[in-house]
Amino acid sequence: MAASQLNVQPSFHARSNSLPSRQHPITSQIDENLNRLRTSQLASTSSSIGHQFNCLQDLYESVDMLLHLPLAQQSIAQEQQRKLVEQLLDGSLVLLDVCGTAKDALSQTKECTQEL
């Protein structure tokens, strides 16, 4: 068989960076807790205040669990690193401005000294 007779097509493997199609169970739990809290707020009676506190506590615990997931921790760490890098860059820009101002002042001093 000649190579031109073979129907060989190259195979490509691609990866997708898409988000997962399903929610994490904790996010579903947070949604449920939010809905329970909203429902209990609509029925605002003195007996439902304890129920609202329970819903709020459940919501807090769910969010706390979500924030302790490894992926959330990585995201928080990356955000903190990004902020630190931005602060460092801002500081270096201020330093460059100060150096430029100092250079201009030294140039003016040199000119004045030469005139004297």
* 3-state DSSP of the chain: CCCCCCCCCCCCCCCCCCCCCCCCHHHHHHHHHHHHHHHHHHCCCCCHHHHHHHHHHHHHHHHHHHHCCHHHHHHHHHHHHHHHHHHHHHHHHHHHHHHHHHHHHHHHHHHHHHHC
Instruction: Kindly state the average pLDDT of the residues 11-38.
Output: 69
Residue 25 has pLDDT above 70, yes or no: yes
Does residue 37 lie in a domain region?
Answer: yes
Domain count, the chain: 2
The predicted pLDDT at position 16 comes to 46
The predicted pLDDT at position 40 comes to 77
Predicted TM-score (pTM) of this structure: 0.50
Residues 60 and 78 in one domain: no
Domain that holds residue 89: 71-111
Kindly report, residue by residue over 50-103, the tens digit of the pLDDT.
777 888 888 888 888 888 889 888 888 888 888 888 998 898 888 888 888 888
Average pLDDT, the chain: 78
More confident position, 14 or 92: 92
Residues 41 and 76 in one domain: no
